[in-house]
Amino acid sequence: MSQVSTESPVKNTGALSHEVKSEDIAPLQVLSPEGEIVNLERMPKLSDDQLKEIMYRMVFTRTWDDRAVNLGRQGRLGFYAPVSGQEATMVGSEYALTKEDFVCPGYRDMPQLVWHGLPLYQAFLYSRGHQHGGQIPEGVNVLMPQIIIGAQILHATGIGMGFKLKGEKRVAITYTGDGGSSEGDFYEGLNFAGAFKLPVIYFVQNNGYAITTPYAKQTGAQSIAHKALAAGIRGLQVDGMDVLAVISAVQEAAEIGRNGGGATLIEGLTYRFRPHSMADDATKYRSKEEEQEWSLRDPLVRFGKFLEKKGLWTEEDTARVKEEAKAAVNEHIKKAEQTEKMTVAGLIDSMFEQTPPHLEEQKADFQ
Amino acid sequence: MAQMTMIDAIRDAMRVELARDPNVLVFGEDVGHVGGVFRATEGLQKEFGEQRVFDTPLAESAIGGLAVGLGIQGFRPIAEIQFVGFIYEALDQMFIQAARMRYRSGGRYNAPIVFRTPFGGGVKAAELHTDSLEGLAIQTPGIKVIVPSNPYDAKGLLISAIRDNDPVFFMEHLNLYRAFRAEVPEGEYTVPIGKANIVREGKDITIIAYGLMVHTAMKAAEELEKNGVSAEVIDLRTLLPLDIDTIVASIQKTNRAIVVQEAQKTSGAAAEIIAQINEKAILHLEAPVLRCAGPDTVYPFAQIEDAWLPTAARIVKTANQVLQF
């Protein structure tokens, strides 16, 4: 079972008991590591073109990540949180939604924002510490990356309530990590979603580490998905290296949310191949063996094998997408670098709708 | 015009705005069915329905975050934090997430939220119900801070706050909720944010205050009058933006001033007001501007709060120090 039962745990024990118990779960999987379909029932209905598009986005994202790390080393990007290894949870979960759905990201979730419509050069501007990076274009339903771990979970909860109040068939999705699932805002958000039955998807990308702190030290819970039980919402665990499992889980959760069925917590088991950030050294807290083991579960490899067997993808396709991605990154980093610099006066004018007198006065010092 | 207490006026402001704008929502702990622990929202759920006026689970950070999310979806949330000390649980959502929304998104999103909370001492309440935390708020870029002192201002300022497209921290002194009735117009009117009110004209000294301390300052001014001192009393109404022009104009006339606050003495609203007076009116001063405030301790337990809070006698004493400088 991949889904945590929301039935009363008392009933689950078979005999009446005052002690809460729950069952172990196994992650939802659609593809085996060899790229074979192991769960046909959960195979999402996708055309060949859609399958190719998903692979395109994952390869593009991997290449963009490679390039961004280099740009960071060259000083052309500022704070950057690498994403390699997490392409299935990032690209897949976003692909499962419609553009009307709303994305509330954590700080690492730039790929979801870009695939949801944020221009790439703005992602680079965000990294470079430019306000225009967060100036989301009209019609793109995302929030800016969130630095305070878990704060966005509550925003998604409020946005979901907004959809419900307006009678719109939309869902909000929010992302955090295994560390974020320890925050008070995580529990408060899930609990509100349960109490108000809100169309929200809480996606935890469990990559095993909160910066350096391993999952084993993060919680005593059987799984992060189990935390849904206490909030009275659905809980699922998925193989986060299996993009089709991720899409299946998110599509289902979105469908349930849109039709008044409430919220779902999805725990995706994944791994970041790179350090937490450009300033982090993962060798200090992760073993080579562990990294090696996870690299064998590379989501691009698994999905690539599946597509190759179907005759939908070749190594040449990968090479072509890489070149496209490199060209796009070059174009967008140039655009980011050529964007007019922020000014302190402009910053002052973005504090309030109408700049009050004391700030007008302070602005004069910067003109 | 109706005679209303401040709590009636606050409720009336929310009723007017709920009726006028379908995007206005009221929520918080116990605000729905019963109408809040002080009955500030009594009857509103019955009148506007559970979709617009509702109880939330007990979690202040989530109340703040819900407001931020709803604001992004075009609603105008009025979020009640049940007592002032509970804002600590919601500080990230109030002072970071809401207050920075416009800046972080370069104006794409905003947070048209009113965070209402009762505060203020003298009612023998439980711990952390009565602190004066406006100092934290005015040091936070991106949020406005309003502290009304009477029913008329409370209604007009709250309507202004609800219509404002930026977050507002609206602090209601709980000792003023039912202290007295005053004439309050029916229907809609606004009192502008950022404009102080001279509640007593005088020529010898300016007493600057807000919230309940406006009334304590008025009593002190009457005492001073008996000794032939003519005190001008300014009710700030808004702490951010601060109406420094009204303060400066008064000091140009009186050449002396004191600032009264319930909050602890150091680094609060009074300190900021004195700094701005220093910047704009120092050549008009005949004496240093002094503060009459609580000492720099935690807010006391009920047993000694009356001795801790500024009184009319202490305000007179502080004023005399300035007058006799």
Query: pTM of the predicted model, to two decimals?
Result: 0.96
The answer to whether A56 is a known catalytic residue is no
Strand A172-177 vs strand A102-104: parallel, antiparallel, or unpaired? parallel
Indicate whether B155 and B255 sit together in one domain: no
Strand pairing partners for B27? B54, B79
Indicate whether B22 and B157 sit together in one domain: yes
Whether residue B123 lies inside any domain: the answer is yes
Kindly state the greatest CA–CA separation across chain A.
75
Kindly state the greatest CA–CA separation across chain B.
60
Indicate whether B56 and B152 sit together in one domain: yes
Among chain B residues, the shortest Cα distance to A154 is held by B65
Among chain B residues, the shortest Cα distance to A192 is held by B57
Q: Which residues of B212-241 are buried (b: 16+ CB within 10 A; e: fewer)?
A: bbbbbbbebbeebeeeebebbbbbbbbbbb
Q: How far is A274 from chain B (nearest CA, A)?
A: 28
Indicate whether B141 and B210 sit together in one domain: no
**Domains identified in chain A, total number:** 1
Q: Are residues B74 and A144, on separate chains, in Cβ contact within 8 Å?
A: no
Indicate whether B256 and B177 sit together in one domain: no
Among chain A residues, the shortest Cα distance to B91 is held by A151
Whether residue A29 lies inside any domain: the answer is no
Considering B159, B184, B209, which residue would you say is the last residue of a domain? B184
Instruction: Give residue A6's pLDDT.
Output: 53
Instruction: Give residue A7's pLDDT.
Output: 54
* CATH for B280: 3.40.50.920
CA distance A266 to A202: 6
Residue of A185, A189, A352 with shortest CB distance to B166: A352
Whether residue A12 lies inside any domain: the answer is no
**Domains identified in chain B, total number:** 2
Q: How many CB atoms lie within 10 A of CB A315?
A: 9
Taking only the tens place, the pLDDT of each residue in B252-306 is 999 999 999 999 999 999 999 999 999 999 999 999 999 999 999 999 999 999 9
C-alpha gyration radius of chain A: 21
Indicate whether B53 and B121 sit together in one domain: yes
Considering B184, B216, B234, which residue would you say is the last residue of a domain? B184
Instruction: Name chain A contacts of B245, Cβ cutoff 8 Å.
Output: 357
Whether residue A358 lies inside any domain: the answer is no
Whether residue A57 lies inside any domain: the answer is yes
Q: Are residues B106 and A350, on separate chains, in Cβ contact within 8 Å?
A: yes
CA distance A85 to A302: 12
Whether residue B192 lies inside any domain: the answer is no
From the list A274, A276, A297, A302, the catalytic residue is: A276
- The boundaries of the domain holding residue B299 are 197-324
Arithmetic mean of pLDDT, B176-204: 98
Q: What angle do CA B42, B6, B25 make, to 5 degrees?
A: 45
Q: Are residues B70 and A159, on separate chains, in Cβ contact within 8 Å?
A: yes
Q: Environment class of residue A275 by beta-carbon count within 10 Å: exposed (0-12), middle (13-18) or buried (19+)?
A: buried
Whether residue A33 lies inside any domain: the answer is no
Place of tokens 């070149």: A323
Whether residue A45 lies inside any domain: the answer is yes
Q: Name the token pair of A298.
A: 């590379």
Whether residue A356 lies inside any domain: the answer is no
The answer to whether B215 is a known catalytic residue is no
Strand pairing partners for B233? B200, B207
Instruction: Name chain B contacts of A358, Cβ cutoff 8 Å.
Output: 241-242, 244, 276
Indicate whether B36 and B77 sit together in one domain: yes
Those residues of chain A whose CB sits closer than 8 Å to some CB in chain B are: 104, 131-132, 134-136, 138, 143-144, 148, 151, 153-163, 165-166, 172, 184-185, 188-189, 191-192, 195, 347, 350-353, 356-358
Whether residue A159 lies inside any domain: the answer is yes
CA distance A318 to A322: 6
Query: pLDDT tens per residue, chain A (367 residues)?
Result: 466 655 554 455 556 678 877 788 999 999 999 999 999 999 999 999 999 999 999 999 999 999 999 999 999 999 999 999 999 999 999 999 999 999 999 999 999 999 999 999 999 999 999 999 999 999 999 999 999 999 999 999 999 999 999 999 999 999 999 999 999 999 999 999 999 999 999 999 999 999 999 999 999 999 999 999 999 999 999 999 999 999 999 999 999 999 999 999 999 999 999 999 988 899 999 999 999 999 999 999 999 999 999 999 999 999 999 999 999 999 999 999 999 999 999 999 999 999 999 999 999 999 8
Indicate whether B160 and B280 sit together in one domain: no
- The boundaries of the domain holding residue A292 are 40-342
Q: Identify the band that residue B135 occupies on the pLDDT scale cut at 50, 70 and 90.
A: very high
Considering B133, B157, B184, which residue would you say is the last residue of a domain? B184
Whether residue B189 lies inside any domain: the answer is no
Indicate whether B204 and B160 sit together in one domain: no
Arithmetic mean of pLDDT, B114-141: 94
Arithmetic mean of pLDDT, B152-167: 98
Whether residue B191 lies inside any domain: the answer is no
* CATH for B96: 3.40.50.970
Residue pair A84/A273 in contact by the 8 Å Cβ criterion: yes
- What secondary structure letter does DSSP report for B92? I
CA distance B226 to A102: 65
Indicate whether B106 and B225 sit together in one domain: no
Indicate whether B121 and B234 sit together in one domain: no
Indicate whether B148 and B17 sit together in one domain: yes
